[in-house]
Amino acid sequence: MDFQTLLIHGGENPDDGLGDLAPPIHVSSTYAQADPERFGPYTYARSGNPTRTALEAAIAALEGGARGLAFASGMAAIASTLLLFAPGDHLIVCRDLYGGAYRVLTGLFARWGLETSFVDTADLAAVARAVTPHTRAVYVESPSNPLLAITDLAAVAGLAKAKGLTSIVDNTFMTPYLQRPLALGFDIVVHSATKFLGGHSDLVAGLAVTADAALGLRLAGIQNAFGAVLPPLDSWLLLRGLRTLAVRLAAEQATAGELAAWLAGRDDLARVHYPGLAGHPGQDIHRAQADGPGAVLSFELQSPAAAKAFMRALTLPKLAVSLGGVESILSYPATMSHAAMPAAERAARGISDALVRLSVGLESAADLKADLDRALAAARARPAP
């Protein structure tokens, strides 16, 4: 099936014999068994739930994987995936990544004994140099958060396979509608499904998909043992959100491209980051591995003071943590998505205090442009202290 058809008909709905077009919400915490030694497909809701099963089957189908798993948040999906590794193992991780992932790697997992090297994964030679006898995995984002840096996914996956490493990619910004990393050779794809997959700013969820059934079984064991599973209602909301992913993201991407081109032509911005702009680093690679530039862009104003004045003057994009909703959301990485990353580390990665990140929603491009223009004018006239 084409992807848009798969969004509607992929996976499997729990069969209750009633012909439901929308999957039912199964809220039971436990399930009666006919025999103490031979159980049915469901025993206890942490271990499995029919609504969650439908979602997990759907995301596996969309990503072209063997096993899908649903978690209570994007960070639960990431942390559970990291539990595949053991103290003393070493991971190679992209330098420019979500601050929550940086926090869990440098905090919780570092104390636990997992070692991490942050590397510019756009430089394949640098990735190869970072491999040690203890390296077990490569973990990347492409495009990255918040600078939209591009990694050659097929090249990194090939290097990982040659070195016997597990390859993990966060596909939150692109979703399987625009990019399917398992087809490029990756072993595991993770998502903050709170974002574009859910699409309505009304749920918190994480997803992981494995290319291999055996790896999926290992991760399912961690999901069951760790217990950070997605509840039935959130699973149902996410299934509903998936059905409109293609039409939502196509419209949001079109507006994002128009806004990025308009912003790039202004002289009151220092820099605009968007894979759809000519000259964006890695643009040719991105075009080869993805079906579009997405609906997230970031841009730098002339100073942190100007950035703060700009944010205070906006009306339509809402200043908030998160992205991927039907409403445009503006985030300030320095105090939001990357607040857990020390200022010196942000600066070393090029994440300045003048940088803002815009997730473009379904408002009209004209209205968004007018609001951004007014806020940029306010930033020029009254820079914040």
Q: What are phi and psi of 192, to 5 degrees?
A: -85, 100
* Confidence band of 181 (pLDDT split at 50, 70, 90): very high
Shared-domain flag, residues 231 and 260? no
Amino acid 17: pLDDT: 77
Task: Check whether the bond before 146 is cis (ω within 30° of 0).
Answer: yes
Where in the sequence is the domain holding 359, given as residue range(s)?
246-381
CATH number at residue 133: 3.40.640.10
CATH number of the CATH domain containing 298:
3.90.1150.10
At residue 358, φ and ψ (nearest 5 deg) are -115, 120
**pLDDT above 70 for 290:** yes
50 plus 155 within the same structural domain: yes
Cross-strand pairs, 298: 273, 357
Nearest partner of 337 among 70, 74, 72, judged by Cα: 74
CB 60 within 8 A of CB 213: no
For the segment 36-50, the average pLDDT, to the nearest whole number, is 95
Average pLDDT for 277-293: 97
pLDDT tens string 189-225:
999 999 999 999 999 999 999 999 999 999 999 999 9
Per-residue pLDDT band at 1 (split at 50, 70, 90): confident
The number of domains in the chain is 2
CA 371, CA 365: separation in Å to the nearest integer?
A: 10
How far is the C-alpha of 66 from the C-alpha of 190, rounded, in Å? Answer: 14
Lookup result for tokens 């984002």: 141
Please name the residues in contact with 269: beta carbons below 8 A apart, sequence gap of 6 or more: 263, 299, 300, 301, 302, 376
CA 118 vs CA 63, 73, 105, 130: distances in Å: 26, 24, 10, 9
Residues 363, 292 within the same domain: yes
Domain boundary among 243, 272, 294: 243
Same domain for 326 and 360, yes or no, is: yes
- pLDDT score recorded for residue 216: 98
DSSP characters over 203-250: ---EEEEESSHHHHHHHHHHHHHH--BPPHHHHHHHHHHHHTHHHHHH
Active site residues: 46, 98, 170, 195
Is 146 in the same domain as 262?
Answer: no
Instruction: Please compute, for residue 113, the number of CA atoms within 13 A of its CA located in the half-sphere on the CB side.
Output: 6
Q: Which SS3 state, helix, strand or coil, does residue 78 take? A: helix
Least confident of 12-26, 41-55, 214-228: 12-26
Residues 164 and 45 in one domain: yes
Are the beta carbons of 295 and 255 closer than 8 angstroms? Answer: yes
Q: How many CA atoms lie within 13 A of 227 on its CB side?
A: 1
Taking residue 163's Cβ as centre, other Cβ atoms within 10 Å add up to: 15
**Residue 256 and residue 234 share a domain:** no
pLDDT of residue 9: 86
pTM above 0.75, yes or no: yes
